[in-house]
Amino acid sequence: MPPITLRLAVTAVMTLASALAASAQSANPACLDQLSEQLAVEKDCAVDYFLNLKEGELAGRLTFEARAQCADGRQFDGSLTEPAGEFTISECGVQVC
C-alpha cells in the first residue's frame, strides 16, 4: 500500500473510532454512574463499558437507555424515565435485547 493511501486509511479509521466513542457518551454521565451502581448491587456486575446509549424525551419526561457490558461477559439493558428513581434492568440472553 503506498504511504499516502496508508495514511488516508489510518486517518479514516481514527475518525470512525472517534465518532463511535463520541456516540457512546451521555449528556448526563450521572445516569451512567447510577446504572453502574445499581447493576453492581442488584446483579453483581462490574461494568466494563456501555453501548447503545439513547437519551430522549417522552411526554415531556427525560428518558435514558443503555446496554452495559459486565467484566464477566454478561450484558444488561437499563432504562429509566424520569421521575423514576431507579433503572428497569433486564439481562440480555434471558430476553431478546
- As a whole number of angstroms, the distance between CA 74 and CA 46 comes to 10
The better pLDDT of the pair 14, 71 is held by 71
Backbone φ and ψ for 62, nearest 5 degrees, come out as -70, 140
Radius of gyration of the chain (CA): 17
Report residue 21's pLDDT band, with 50, 70 and 90 as the boundaries: very low
- As a whole number of angstroms, the distance between CA 14 and CA 24 comes to 16
The better pLDDT of the pair 10, 72 is held by 72
Q: What pTM value is reported for the model?
A: 0.66
The better pLDDT of the pair 30, 5 is held by 30
What confidence tens digit (pLDDT) does each residue in 40-51 have?
A: 999 999 999 998
* Count of H-run helices and E-run strands, the chain: 2, 4
Check pLDDT > 70 for residue 9. no
Contact yes or no for 74/94 (Cβ under 8 A): no
Check pLDDT > 80 for residue 62. yes
